[in-house]
């Protein structure tokens, strides 16, 4: 299993908008395209204005394929257009890729 930690540096004043977009639409769209979101966080220091979440993928090849399908989905394209009429929600996005270590099992 491949775990992707995505870090969004959210533009000022857009945190609630991006969280609503995930809650109301994007998580379901991810699932439609084979991606499972397991956890969400926001930075404890509100001045950092960062949103974090984990997406599970079978492997890097499937991750890339699933994101390509997601990004080209007409529903996503329209949702992004509508939710960003007042400007982009995200200033910068980072991904950190992780895998399980052999010595630890979550019980």
Domain annotation covers residue 105: no
Tell me if 51 is assigned to some domain.
Answer: yes
38, part of any domain: yes
pLDDT of residue 107: 57
Residue 18 in domain: yes
> pTM of this prediction?
0.90
CA dist., res. 14 & res. 89, Å (int):
6
Domain that holds residue 40: 2-98
DSSP conformation letters of 41-73: EE-SSGGG-EEEEEEEESSHHHHHHHHHHHHT-
Residue at 104 is within a domain? no
How high is the mean pLDDT in each 10-residue block of the chain (107 residues)? 97 96 97 95 95 97 97 98 97 96 77
Q: Which CATH number belongs to the domain containing residue 93 in this structure?
A: 3.30.70.100
Residue 103 located in a structural domain: no
Q: What is the pLDDT of residue 87?
A: 96
Residue 10 lies inside a defined structural domain of this protein: yes
Structural domain count, the chain: 1
């Amino acid at each position: 299993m491949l775990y992707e930690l995505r870090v969004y540096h959210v533009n000022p004043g857009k945190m609630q908008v991006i969280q609503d977009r995930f809650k109301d639409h994007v998580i379901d769209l991810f699932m439609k395209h084979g991606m499972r979101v397991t956890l969400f966080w926001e930075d404890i220091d509100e001045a950092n204005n960062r949103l974090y979440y984990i997406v599970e993928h079978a492997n890097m090849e499937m991750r890339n394929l699933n994101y390509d399908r997601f990004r080209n989905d007409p529903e996503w394209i329209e949702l992004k257009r509508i939710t960003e009429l007042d400007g982009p929600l995200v200033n910068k996005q980072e991904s950190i890729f992780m895998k399980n270590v052999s010595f630890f099992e979550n019980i």
